[in-house]
Structure 1
Amino acid sequence: MSPRVLVAYYSATGSVHRLAEAVAEGAGSAGAEVRLRRVAEHAPAEAIASNPAWTEHRRETDSAIGVATLDDLEWADGYAFGTPTRYGAPAAQLKQFIDSASSLWHEGKLADKPVTAFVSSAERHGGQESTILSLNNVFYHWGSVIVPLGYTDDVVYAAGGNPYGTSWPAGFPSTMPDEVTLSCARYQGERLAKFAALLASARVAMSGAAADGPGGQS
């Protein structure tokens, strides 16, 4: 059975979008069925219009990438969340989507699934690690299995050495991730897919054992 991976992200000018594509590519190369989804935009139209790069990215992706839904969360065996940093925390758009998942959380439908995160900021020390740690606080409550990059492959060192997750210092004006960083993001997607497959199989086995009951009869 192929694991199902949701890559959900928010991106204003495109750098996180490109990371998300690379994470999805990596998960797919590891055999996962992948849904790439952007979360809904809530910024006012005048704010978007004031930034040509933001306007252009909206134009390019609004019809090309579907909007993440709670059905996507329930469907997936594993999650990758991407966001720009906002004062060391996730973008409000991504956080609002996560906050909307309380019904799934109450039903236990988010538990025991692997999750990983990736980020972009203007500067390398612009809150990249704290943003991922902030997201992890949510995943502790979900009962997720957090899958960091660690120092598990040389590409992590080459891409800046962030063991928490792939991160890109985009600068100002924002630039797109370089190939080394995209390779790290693909590796992160592959790593997530492998854990998603293992944990999905374990959940199936556990549910089967529960159905059989103590006497081994179904």
Structure 2
Amino acid sequence: MESLVNVAVIYYSATGNVFQLAKAAATAAEKAGAEVRLRKVRELAPAEALASNQGWADHAAATQHIVEATPDDLAWADVILLGSPTRYGLPAAQMKQFIDITGPLWSQGRLADKVASSFTSTSTSHGGQESTILALNNVFYHWGCFIVPPGYVDPIQFQAGNPYGTSHVSQGGEVLPGETELAAIDFQTRRAVRIAELIQRGQVQ
């Protein structure tokens, strides 16, 4: 039976690692039968900052076609997946700015009862993966979402090793997400879609 679930995959990515995870999440949701919006949050860094980092500039140019996220994407969605690199153990400012404009939706209760999950990429092995995901989850608490982590409920999670959400270590920006990370975000997304379907059917309340 075709899914009636709307999935918004909203991300920020400077050099492309989180983007690769976001693309994989969008593909997984589509394969699960969901309607999907893949959206990037607006870049806040000045042009000279991008120009100083070739990888950053190249990624910005390569993803010009990706539509920028708006609060309407959140209102539309049944499932919200947020992805951000870590900045000092916190989500990037670009993602935080997007979150900060959701106040009107939140005050109207239009973000409540949605399924939500998050993912990240860091430069180093202990660069703040869990703290970044937990910080994003703090937003979901305020919105009144059903937070769905991947947990350790699939064999891939014992390889990926992060029950909070998919995370990737880029080794200083040199390594793109590999087979394990892509399989982990695939599972995390499919699980979120499945829980949203159960909620729609009244099997989870």
Q: What range is the shorter-chain TM-score in?
A: over 0.9
Once the two structures are superposed, the pairs formed by residues 1-218 of structure 1 within 5 Å of their partners are 2-62=4-64, 64-159=65-160, 161-202=161-202
Give me the CA root mean square deviation: 1.4
Aligned residues: 202
Q: Which moved more, 1:8-17 or 1:180-189?
A: 180-189
Q: What TM-score, normalized to structure 1?
A: 0.89
Distance in 1 between residues matched to 2:88 and 2:173, nearest whole Å: 17
Give runs of ≥4 in structure 1 deviating > 3 Å.
200-203
Larger radius of gyration: 1
> Tell me, what secondary structure is at the counterpart of 2:153?
coil
Aligned partners of 1:10 and 1:84 also within 8 Å: yes
The alpha carbon displacement at 1:191 in A equals 0.8
Query: Aligned AA for 1:5?
Result: V
Distance in 2 between residues matched to 1:173 and 1:41, nearest whole Å: 18
Distance in 2 between residues matched to 1:173 and 1:148, nearest whole Å: 25
Query: Aligned AA for 1:181?
Result: E
Q: What TM-score, normalized to structure 2?
A: 0.95
Distance in 1 between residues matched to 2:41 and 2:124, nearest whole Å: 24
Unaligned regions of 5+ residues in structure 2, if any?
Answer: none
The alpha carbon displacement at 1:26 in A equals 1.3
Distance in 2 between residues matched to 1:174 and 1:89, nearest whole Å: 21
Query: Aligned AA for 1:93?
Result: Q
Aligned partners of 2:123 and 2:171 also within 8 Å: yes
Aligned partners of 1:13 and 1:174 also within 8 Å: no
The alpha carbon displacement at 1:173 in A equals 3.4
Query: Aligned AA for 2:172?
Result: F
Distance in 1 between residues matched to 2:79 and 2:107, nearest whole Å: 18
Aligned partners of 1:80 and 1:116 also within 8 Å: yes
Distance in 2 between residues matched to 1:96 and 1:67, nearest whole Å: 13
Query: Aligned AA for 1:137?
Result: N
Identical-residue share of aligned pairs (%) = 53
Unaligned regions of 5+ residues in structure 1, if any?
Answer: 207-218
Aligned partners of 2:115 and 2:196 also within 8 Å: yes
Aligned partners of 1:4 and 1:196 also within 8 Å: no
> Tell me, what secondary structure is at the counterpart of 2:37?
strand
The alpha carbon displacement at 1:197 in A equals 1.8
> Tell me, what secondary structure is at the counterpart of 1:67?
coil
The alpha carbon displacement at 1:200 in A equals 3.4
Distance in 2 between residues matched to 1:163 and 1:177, nearest whole Å: 17
